Structures are given as C-alpha cells and as structure tokens.
Amino acid sequence: MSEIVTDKKVHQVLAYLAETDEPAAKARARMDALKVAEKTILALEILDAEGSVQERESRARVSVAYREWKSEYEDACADWYLYQNKRSTAEKIVEVWRGVNANRRAGNIT
C-alpha cells in the first residue's frame, strides 16, 4: 500500500506551521486593526463633509480615504484567510498521518 501521507510531507507541513505562526498572527492583527480603523476614517470623513447626516455618511463612504481603507482591509482579510486555510490543511495532514500511524501500530493496516 502506498503511503497516504508520507513522513516527508508531515515534516514539510510541520515546518510550514512553525514558520507561519508569526506571519499568520500579524495578518490577523492587521485585519483586526483595520476593522477598528473603519470607524475613525468614517468619522473623519463625515466631519469634513457637508449636508444632512445621511448625505455626509454617503459622501464619507465614497471618499478616497474610505475606498483606500476598504481595499487595504479586503487585502488584509484575504491574507488572513489564506493563512488560516493553508494552516488548517496542514493540521489535517498531520491528523491523517497520526491516524494512519495509530492504525499501523494497532495492526489494522500494513
């Protein structure tokens, strides 16, 4: 029977998990910080706008600053979710490897 998950693959994904701890945390922190910044950017843009409350909020949401924030926030979300998905896949590979080895030790597979 060919290996479902090889030892080499497990070493690779464990290295990936170890190497991406900090970058993944920074990606999440960036996403969270940008989400909080939305209120500040909107508030500053609303203060600079004229008109009724509804008009000022509408103008704020189409302002250059807000559109730049939104683009940066979307990029930050994509970065975080990419790390999250790749790390989840790596963890699943390790889980499969553990299960296969446990079954092998129990004599259920050769």
Q: Give the sign of the dihedral formed by CA 98, CA 104, CA 108, CA 110.
A: positive
* Rounded distance between C-alpha atoms, residue 72 and residue 37, angstroms: 11
- Residue 1: the pLDDT is 46
Residue 44: which domain range?
A: 30-92
- pLDDT: is 105 or 47 the higher one? 47
Q: How many domains does the chain have?
A: 1
Query: 41 lies in a domain?
Result: yes
Q: How confident is the model at residue 107 (pLDDT cuts 50, 70, 90)?
A: confident
Query: 67 lies in a domain?
Result: yes
Amino acid at 109: I
Query: 52 lies in a domain?
Result: yes
pLDDT tens by residue, 72-93: 999 999 999 999 999 999 999 9
* Rounded distance between C-alpha atoms, residue 59 and residue 53, angstroms: 10
pLDDT tens by residue, 3-46: 778 999 999 999 999 999 999 999 999 999 999 999 999 999 99
Taking the CA of residue 98 as centre, how many other CA atoms within 13 Å lie in the half-sphere pointing to its CB? Answer: 7
Query: 59 lies in a domain?
Result: yes
Query: 10 lies in a domain?
Result: no
Contact predicate 23/83, CB 8 Å:
yes
